[in-house]
C-alpha cells in the first residue's frame, strides 16, 4: 500500500485534491472513476525512505554547482520577501540562461501549480535535485521553515565545495610535475634516444646492456606509439564503463581504496566527514534519524559505507543506539563512535555530528598537506634519476669511444 495525491473533479463541478492510500495508481484511478469522479492527475506521495533509490538514479548533472547555489540563494531571498511560491518559481525560470534547467523549472512550476508540493516536484528530477536537498525541502514544508531549510542546505553545500576546492588545489602542483615528467620522458624516448640508435648502429655488440635495453624500449615505443596510446585510452574507457555499469565492481573498487596504505585512511576520514555532515544537515532540518540515515547513504560517495548504512538504519529502527550501530559496521573510527555516543547521551547529536565532520575536514587537510610535502620532492628526485640514468646510458658509450680514440 502507498499514498497517492489525487486531483479530481466531483460530479458537482468542484475541483479537489486529497491523499489516498491504494495498492497502485491504476487501482486508485479505477476506484475514483467508478465513483463518478473525473481524474486530473495522480502522483505518488513523496516518502523520505524512497529518496535513497532516487539518489542512485543520478546519471549526469544538468546544472553546475554554482548555478545550483545561485538558484537556491535567489529562491530563499524571494521566499523571505513574502512572494508566493508560484511567483518565486515563475521569476526563477524566466531568468535562468541554462536551457535544460529552464525546462526542468517549467515542469516544477507546472507541478506546483497543479497542486503538488515543491518537494514532490523536485523529487521528479533526481538528476538535478539531490536526495539530501529534496528531503530538506520536504521537512521545511512540513515545519513551515522552508527559507531556513534552504539557507541551511546552502551552508552545507558551500562547506562541501570548499573542501573539494582545497583538495583539487592541493593536487595541481603534483599533477603538473607528473605531466612534465611524462613530457620529458616522451621527448627522450620518441626523439633523443632514436637519434643515438642511428649513431650506435654499427657497434651494437660493444654497447652496455643498459644502453641496449633503453634503445630497444625506445624503438619499440616509437614504432608502436599509436597502438600503445590507443590501448591505454581504451583500457581507461573500459574500466570507467565497467565501474559505472557494475555495482559490485564499484563496491570492490571503493573497498580497495580504503585499503591503500595511508591514503586509505584519508578516504575513510573523508567518507565519515561526508556522512556526518549530511546527517547533521538532515537532522537539523527535522528529518527523523532512520530516514536521515537512508538519505545520507545515497549521498555518501563510498559504496561500501553506503551498503553498511542500510544495516545501521535497520538496527536503529529496532531500537539500537546510533553509535552502537555505526560501530558494528567496522568502518567508523573510535573517535567518531565515541562522539556520536556522547551526542546521543547528552541530547546534542546534531552538534556532535557537525563537530565530527569539522574535525575530520581539518585533519584531512593536514594529512593531505603532509602527503604532498613528501610526494612533491620525491617526484622531482625520481624524475631527475630517470633522466640522469637515460642520459648516462646514452652518453657513456660515446665517452668510451672518445677515450679509446685518444
- For helices 209-223 and 349-405, give the axis angle rounded to 10 degrees: 120
Nearest to 300 by CA among 332, 262, 344: 332
Q: Give the pLDDT band (50/70/90) at residue 355.
A: very high
Burial (0-12, 13-18, 19+ Cβ within 10 Å), 287: buried
pLDDT of residue 385: 86
Nearest to 122 by CA among 66, 65, 64, 43: 43
Helix residue ranges per DSSP H, 8-64: 25-34, 51-55
Instruction: Spell out the domain ranges in the chain.
Output: 1-45, 171-406
Q: Is the pLDDT of residue 46 over 70?
A: no
For the segment 101-108, the average pLDDT, to the nearest whole number, is 88
Q: Is the pLDDT of residue 319 over 50?
A: yes
Report how far residue 179's alpha carbon sits from residue 184's, in angstroms, rounded to the nearest whole number: 9
What is the tens place of the pLDDT at every residue in 134-158? 888 887 887 788 888 888 888 888 8
Q: Give the pLDDT band (50/70/90) at residue 49.
A: very low
pLDDT of residue 340: 92
Q: Give the pLDDT band (50/70/90) at residue 338.
A: very high
Q: Is the pLDDT of residue 53 over 60?
A: no
Report how far residue 196's alpha carbon sits from residue 208's, in angstroms, rounded to the nearest whole number: 14
CB 316 within 8 A of CB 296: no
Cα radius of gyration rounded to whole Å, the chain: 30
C-alpha cell read off for 167? 583538495
In DSSP terms, which residues pair with 137 in a beta bridge?
Answer: none
pLDDT of residue 56: 40
Q: Give the pLDDT band (50/70/90) at residue 205.
A: low
Q: Which CATH class is domain 171-406?
A: mainly alpha
pTM value is 0.64
Helix residue ranges per DSSP H, 246-348: 247-259, 263-284, 289-299, 303-317, 322-327, 334-346
C-alpha cell read off for 115? 497542486
- Choose between 202 and 288: higher pLDDT: 288
C-alpha cell read off for 6? 489525487
What is the tens place of the pLDDT at every residue in 231-255? 999 998 888 888 777 777 888 888 8
When the pLDDT of each residue in the chain is averaged and rounded to a whole number, the result is 81
Q: Give the pLDDT band (50/70/90) at residue 54.
A: very low
pLDDT of residue 268: 86
Q: Is the pLDDT of residue 84 over 80?
A: yes
26 to each of 255, 273, 318, 379, how far by Cα in Å? 43, 43, 34, 64
Nearest to 281 by CA among 269, 296, 271: 296
For the segment 193-210, the average pLDDT, to the nearest whole number, is 72
For the segment 265-284, the average pLDDT, to the nearest whole number, is 86
Q: Which of 49-58, 221-230, 237-246, 247-256 has the lowest mean pLDDT?
A: 49-58
Length of the chain: 406
Amino acid at each position: 500500500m502507498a499514498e497517492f495525491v489525487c486531483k479530481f473533479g466531483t460530479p458537482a463541478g468542484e475541483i479537489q485534491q486529497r491523499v489516498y492510500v491504494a495498492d497502485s495508481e491504476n487501482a486508485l484511478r479505477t476506484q475514483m472513476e467508478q465513483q463518478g469522479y473525473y481524474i486530473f492527475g495522480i502522483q505518488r506521495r513523496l516518502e523520505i525512505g524512497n529518496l535513497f533509490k532516487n539518489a542512485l538514479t543520478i546519471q549526469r548533472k544538468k546544472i553546475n554547482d554554482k548555478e545550483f547555489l545561485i538558484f537556491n540563494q535567489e529562491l530563499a531571498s524571494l521566499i523571505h520577501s513574502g512572494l508566493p511560491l508560484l511567483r518565486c518559481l515563475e521569476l526563477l525560470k524566466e531568468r535562468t540562461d541554462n536551457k535544460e534547467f529552464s525546462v526542468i523549472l517549467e515542469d516544477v512550476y507546472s507541478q506546483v501549480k497543479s497542486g503538488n508540493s515543491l518537494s514532490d516536484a523536485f523529487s521528479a528530477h533526481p538528476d538535478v535535485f539531490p536526495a539530501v536537498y529534496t528531503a530538506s525541502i520536504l521537512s521545511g514544508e512540513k515545519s513551515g521553515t522552508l527559507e531556513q531549510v534552504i539557507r541551511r542546505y546552502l551552508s552545507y553545500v558551500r562547506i562541501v565545495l570548499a573542501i573539494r576546492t582545497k583538495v583539487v588545489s592541493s593536487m595541481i602542483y603534483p599533477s603538473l610535475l607528473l605531466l612534465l615528467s611524462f613530457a620529458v620522458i616522451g621527448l627522450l624516448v620518441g626523439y633523443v634516444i632514436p637519434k643515438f640508435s642511428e649513431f650506435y648502429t654499427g657497434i651494437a655488440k660493444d654497447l652496455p646492456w643498459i644502453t641496449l635495453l633503453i634503445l630497444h624500449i625506445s624503438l619499440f615505443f616509437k614504432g608502436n606509439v599509436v597502438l600503445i596510446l590507443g590501448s591505454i585510452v581504451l583500457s581507461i574507457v573500459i574500466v570507467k564503463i565497467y565501474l559505472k555499469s557494475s555495482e559490485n565492481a564499484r563496491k570492490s573498487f571503493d573497498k580497495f581504496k580504503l585499503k591503500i596504505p595511508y591514503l586509505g585512511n584519508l578516504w575513510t576520514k573523508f567518507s565519515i566527514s561526508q556522512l556526518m555532515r549530511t546527517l547533521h544537515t538532515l537532522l537539523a532540518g527535522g528529518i527523523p534519524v532512520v530516514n536521515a540515515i537512508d538519505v545520507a547513504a545515497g549521498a555518501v560517495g563510498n559504496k561500501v559505507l553506503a551498503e553498511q548504512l542500510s544495516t545501521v538504519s535497520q538496527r536503529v529502527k529496532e531500537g539500537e543506539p546510533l553509535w552502537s550501530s555505526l560501530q558494528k559496521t567496522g568502518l567508523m573510527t573510535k573517535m567518531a563512535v565515541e562522539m556520536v555516543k556522547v551526542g546521543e547521551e547528552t541530547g546534542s547529536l546534531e552538534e556532535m555530528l557537525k563537530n565530527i565532520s569539522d574535525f575530520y575536514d581539518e585533519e584531512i587537510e593536514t594529512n593531505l598537506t603532509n602527503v604532498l610535502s613528501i610526494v612533491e620532492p620525491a617526484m622531482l628526485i625520481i624524475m631527475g634519476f630517470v633522466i640522469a640514468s637515460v642520459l648516462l646510458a646514452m652518453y657513456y658509450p660515446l665517452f668510451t669511444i672518445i677515450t679509446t680514440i685518444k
